[in-house]
Amino acid sequence: MLPFKLVYHDRYDLNLGAHVFPSQKYRLVHDALLAEGFADVSDFLIPEPARDADVLLVHSQEYVHKLKTGTLSYAEQLRMEIPYSLELIEACWLAAGGSILAARRALADGWAANIGGGFHHAYPDHGEGFCVLHDVAIAIRRMQFDRAIETAIVIDTDVHHGNGTAAIFGGDSTVFTMSIHQENNYPYPKPPSSLDINLEDGVGDDDYLAILDKHLHQAFEQFQPGLIFYIGGADPYREDQLGGLALSLEGLKRRDALVFNYARRLRIPLSITLAGGYARQVADTVRIHVGTILAARDAARPTAAKA
């Protein structure tokens, strides 16, 4: 049994068919955690879809209406880079509900993880880069609306810059956004986060971890959040089809552990989403995501033991 709850729904699969984004990975991560004995059925919570009122805390009414009625223009659908369907919309609302639930459980228990979510390219008025709704922003805004938190930090380790995150929270002193990403990669342009770490192509384990550690220290010196939202990207992996960094499987585990140890030492509640991941072998992406959950387990256990 894990020392925290995982949030998962069978309908997280975006039903994309033959697509570079392996939306079946959510089911595969869920199944691997159970099959390998890392998690028990009782560790999982099933989310409800986000309410429209929650989604509207971040996204425009016009955009939400278009999504729910299937009236996006052809150009708007092309920009999302995934085919529109009612199943897609259901999955996106569920992912947002999952991140809300994970945030609540993190605040209650110290740690939680949403097996889905992390759709950091979504803007208030449009989707792009395989992202339709910004589930993390929705969860943060809901926690603030409920006065469960005043402040939050988003630590984004996807290989691609979190442009939607930066745009949504730009100028908002209550949310600190940190993105460590490959500079010469999607998206263009990159609106400024609170702290952007622009990496050159081909950066490997040791350099990446040293740079990340330095900037995590800087971020937490500048900002003391009530909640950490960690977007754990699988795509800095050296075999990723859409990335140009060179992290190993072991390096990615060390990356996760580094972030989680900051949360543990500083005693800040942490909510995880699993993002990105386009490895040539889907099994590698699944292994990376499972590794993120195991790194969280290992970091959370000392806290749980003290409770």
* Cα–Cα distance, 8 to 32 (Å, whole number): 13
72-119 per-position pLDDT tens digit: 999 999 999 999 999 999 999 999 999 999 999 999 999 999 999 999
pLDDT surpassing 70 at residue 302: no
Structural domain that includes position 227 = 5-306
Q: Is the pTM of this model over 0.85?
A: yes
Map tokens 């072991």 to a residue.
Answer: 250
* Cα–Cα distance, 116 to 121 (Å, whole number): 15
Is-contact 275 117, C-beta < 8 A? yes
Percent of the chain with pLDDT over 90: 95
Provide the domain count of the chain.
Answer: 1
Give the rounded distance of the alpha carbon of 16 from its chain centre: 19
β-bridge partners, 270: 111, 228
Is-contact 296 260, C-beta < 8 A? yes
CATH of the domain at 232: 3.40.800.20
Indicate left, alpha or beta for 91 from its phi (over 0: left) and psi (-120 to 50: alpha).
alpha
Average pLDDT over residues 263-287: 97
| 161: its two tokens | 């810059």
Is-contact 298 257, C-beta < 8 A? yes
Is-contact 135 164, C-beta < 8 A? no
Dihedrals φ, ψ of 101, to 5°?
A: -65, -40
- SS3 for 131? strand
Beta strand 195-199 pairing with 228-233: unpaired
pLDDT for the residue 6: 98
Is-contact 156 181, C-beta < 8 A? yes
How far are the Cα atoms of 84, 138, 297 from residue 6, in angstroms, in the given order?
A: 28, 18, 11
| 297: its two tokens | 């387990």
Q: What is the dihedral of CA 103, 168, 252, 307, to 10 degrees?
A: -20
240-257 per-position pLDDT tens digit: 999 999 999 999 999 999
Cα angle 38, 43, 46 (rounded to 5 degrees) comes to 130
Is-contact 270 228, C-beta < 8 A? yes
Average pLDDT over residues 226-236: 98
Q: Where are the alpha helices (DSSP H) in 151-236?
A: 163-169, 205-222
